Amino acid sequence: MAIRKTEAVILKVIPYGETSKILTTFTKDHGKITMIAKGARNIKSKFGGSLEPFTHLSVVFYEREARDLQYISDVSIINPFLNIHDHLDRMYAALSMIEICNKVIHGNEENTALFELLTQTLEGMNSPVKPAVNGFLNFLIQLADLLGFKMELERCRFCEDIAAHRQLQFNIDKGRIVCEDCPQDMQMFSDQAVVSKETYAVMRQMARTKGSGLYNIVISDRARSEIYSTAIRHLQYHADELKHLNALAYLKV
């Protein structure tokens, strides 16, 4: 048995017995780990209210390689993201992100890049002065890249100036923008998403922007809807485990 300390984001919480909780966690150093917090539901529990979905923690746990359920020794809160909990639109976006992570992350497979993307997006969405939807849409675009099926947004494969064309579509199979001048085999595909020039410009700007500048991008209702639809369809087309996401039913983008 080894004592481990790492950062973690809680992906799922299940009551266990009369007083405990079983947590599915996304850890920075060890990937997805299922842990048990004994007595966590007691009024006088040392864990207090820290063990809630999408809370960012520092956690100490006992690792036994022969067991699928690890025992939590201690936790301290890094960020509870209280402002997300206070706003339904932000909360459903956060719940969608942790549900996605729960489905794409495998046990004991470190994925530091995705962990950083998740925590940084939650931090941005927690700010009351930043448009939370910007962070959520960027999360979807960047996630595709991390999973190995990047959305190619810089230019069409055959055209230098996409903005000069009348109609743009996103070829979900190929993962790239196509226009009316592209070869027919590029325009004939099983799944497609029509995007306006405005939407394309915003998606490209989001893919290029790092840090807090992401939240300065102005996104119209139309562009927001098209980006969300295109990104979700792209992810679900390439990742079977994302075809059924419960939290999306409550999300309004």
Specify the pairing of strand 31-37 against strand 69-79: parallel
pLDDT at 157 over 70: no
How far, in Å, are 61, 234, 237 from residue 240 at the CA level? 32, 11, 7
Residue closest to 186 by CA, chosen among 204, 199, 174: 174
What proportion of the chain, given as a percentage, has pLDDT over 90? Answer: 59
Average pLDDT in the chain: 88
Domains of the chain and CATH, by start: 2-79 (2.40.50.140), 82-250 (1.20.1440.120)
pLDDT at 218: 93
What confidence tier does 214 reach under pLDDT thresholds 50, 70, 90?
Answer: very high
Mean pLDDT of 36-64: 88
What confidence tier does 161 reach under pLDDT thresholds 50, 70, 90?
Answer: low
Question: For residue 241, which amino acid is it?
Answer: E
Tally Cβ neighbours within 10 Å of residue 134. Answer: 22
Per the CB < 8 A criterion, the answer to whether 195 and 131 are in contact is no
Tokens of 75: 């936790």
- Single pTM value for the model: 0.90
